[in-house]
Amino acid sequence: MSAADLDARDPLAGIRAEFDLDPAVSYLDGNSLGAPPRRVADRLDDVIRKQWAGRLIQAWDDGWWDAPERIGDRIGPLIGAAAGQTVVCDSTSVNLFKALAAAVRLQPGRDEILVDARTFPSDGYIADGLAGFTGHTVRRVDPVDMPAAASERTAAAVVNHVDYVTGRLHDMPAITDGLHAVGALAVWDLCHSVGVLPIQLDGCGVDFAVGCTYKFLNGGPGAPAFIYVARKWLDRFEHPLTGWAGHRDPFAMSSDYTGSAGIGRARAGTPDILAMSAVDAALDIWDLVSIEDVRAKGLALGDFFFECLDELLPSASVLTPRDPARGHQVSVAGTAAQLKALAGRGIIGDFRPPNVLRFGLAPLYTRYVDVERAVHGLVSVQTG
Ligand SMILES: Cc1ncc(COP(=O)(O)O)c(C=O)c1O
Ligand SMILES: Nc1c(O)cccc1C(=O)C[C@H](N)C(=O)O
């Protein structure tokens, strides 16, 4: 079937109109920065003109102060988290620091942290940075080998749900169970899976998770991230960034810190209301679509990408698995110069060293014609 026919039959095709995208551009980098939902601009206008200008500081009592928990609970259904376990705040890196610090604190006598050897570098840097304070040994292990590598020495393991380079999807239930079998805690990084595939954090018994909102959740550049703390750990969740926003009674201005009783204790400082309002507005799109439909289209876009490559560029070296154990991207070997040449043709992907071209497939706005154009573009930049 042609790309145009596939687009014509796509039940999600109409959702693209929710985004401010140039039809002439094939935007295939939603796995790095999502596209702008039109409703975000309207919401920010409202927050600035009506809430900030209209209510001034009184707006904190009109829903600003509680926005991190409220918006966290809107992300909850996308990650299989019942209410009260997810809060939106800080960056993924900062939230990972909090989650990992709390995890090792829960595991006295265990002296090792495992880190996904193929993770986005920041996760490894954070683990190393924390270990510099706690004295833990950090060992880098492929997620597939984590259950076998973990032992009674392992306090916690940081695992990516979807590998940011290849798009490989890791088996959350099996890896989590494997870690738990030796008493290690599981900390999942959902940056590349949230908003593209169904996730069951509660169902898998995951201990902690972090993720960003600026990729497939389209919250905008630098949008705040989220952190999930499983209900079973909420009472004992202790992290070192004990700022006033996580205090049980922040406006009492007590000189002693007592953490909030719930997920609020994962907060540290004042919430960035403008950025958070953008995330909130972007999440409205999930009132129109289901994650199951998004997942089905994401896999279909990937299958179509592989078909086009087989037909037009069989010599391509494809890094992304063809089976459904993948997220929503297709990665092929290539160069930074090729990426630049593609951008000159209106095809936007990204390059990750040393030799990977990544093409993100965001089912809310990616069209089959975008995939077809990307493969035609790859053919022309490979053949000169
Ligand atoms: C898998 C993964 N983890 C962590 C990060 C870091 O996120 P942040 O910049 O919000 O700290 C990113 C992207 O930047 C990422 O892709
Ligand atoms: N957050 C980013 C940024 O501010 C600029 C450029 C890229 C990013 C990214 O998020 C990169 C992304 N985590 C990746 O998968 O490579």
Q: How far away, in angstroms, is 298 Cα from ligand 2 center? A: 20
Q: How far away, in angstroms, is 192 Cα from ligand 1 center? A: 9
DSSP 374: H
Q: What is the pLDDT of residues 49-86, one digit of tens each?
A: 999 999 999 999 999 999 999 999 999 999 999 999 99
Calculate helix-pair angle for 121-134, 92-105, nearest 10 degrees. 40
pLDDT over 70 at 371, yes or no: yes
Candidates 1.10.260.40, 3.40.190.10, 3.40.640.10, 3.40.50.300; CATH matching 66-270: 3.40.640.10
Q: What is the pLDDT of residue 1?
A: 85
From 29, 91, 122, the mutation candidate for ligand 1 (largest count of ligand atoms within 8 A of CB) is: 122
Q: What is the pLDDT of residues 287-330, one digit of tens each?
A: 999 999 999 999 999 999 999 999 999 999 999 999 999 999 99
pLDDT over 70 at 383, yes or no: no
Number of other CB atoms surrounding residue 25 within 10 Å: 15
Q: How far away, in angstroms, is 32 Cα from ligand 2 center? A: 5
Instruction: Confirm whether 215 is a catalytic residue.
Output: yes
Give the predicted TM-score (pTM) of the model: 0.98
Q: What share of the chain is helix, strand, coil (3-state, %, to 5)?
A: 45, 15, 40
Nearest to 154 by CA among 84, 209, 106, 119: 106
Residue nearest to atom 14 of ligand 2 (CA): 32
CATH topology (fold) of 3-38+290-383: Aspartate Aminotransferase, domain 1 (3.90.1150)
Instruction: Confirm whether 368 is a catalytic residue.
Output: no
216 lines ligand 2 (CB under 6 A): no
Q: Rg of the chain's alpha carbons, rounded to an integer?
A: 21
pLDDT over 90 at 104, yes or no: yes
The one catalytic residue in 19, 97, 120, 305 is 120
Q: Please state, in angstroms and rounded to a whole number, the distance separating the CA atoms of residues 230 and 102.
A: 12
Q: Which neighbouring-strand residues pair with 333?
A: 356
pLDDT over 60 at 384, yes or no: no
Q: Please state, in angstroms and rounded to a whole number, the distance separating the CA atoms of residues 83 and 234.
A: 12
pLDDT over 70, % of the chain: 99
Mean pLDDT of the chain: 97
Q: What is the pLDDT of residues 196-255, one digit of tens each?
A: 999 999 999 999 999 999 999 999 999 999 999 999 999 999 999 999 999 999 999 999
Q: Please state, in angstroms and rounded to a whole number, the distance separating the CA atoms of residues 361 and 351.
A: 15
Residue nearest to atom 2 of ligand 2 (CA): 32
Ligand 1 atom at minimal distance to the Cα of residue 93: 11
Number of other CB atoms surrounding residue 51 within 10 Å: 18
Q: Mean per-residue pLDDT for 326-346?
A: 97
The complex scores an ipTM of 0.97
Q: Please state, in angstroms and rounded to a whole number, the distance separating the CA atoms of residues 92 and 306.
A: 31
Contacts of 66 (CB under 8 A, 6+ apart): none
Domain boundaries defined on the chain: 3-38+290-383, 66-270
Tell me the H-state helices in the chain: 3-9, 38-46, 53-55, 67-79, 92-105, 121-134, 146-149, 172-181, 201-204, 231-234, 273-283, 291-312, 336-344, 368-383
Q: How far away, in angstroms, is 62 Cα from ligand 1 center? A: 31
From 28, 29, 31, 33, the mutation candidate for ligand 2 (largest count of ligand atoms within 8 A of CB) is: 33
Q: Mean per-residue pLDDT for 139-151?
A: 97
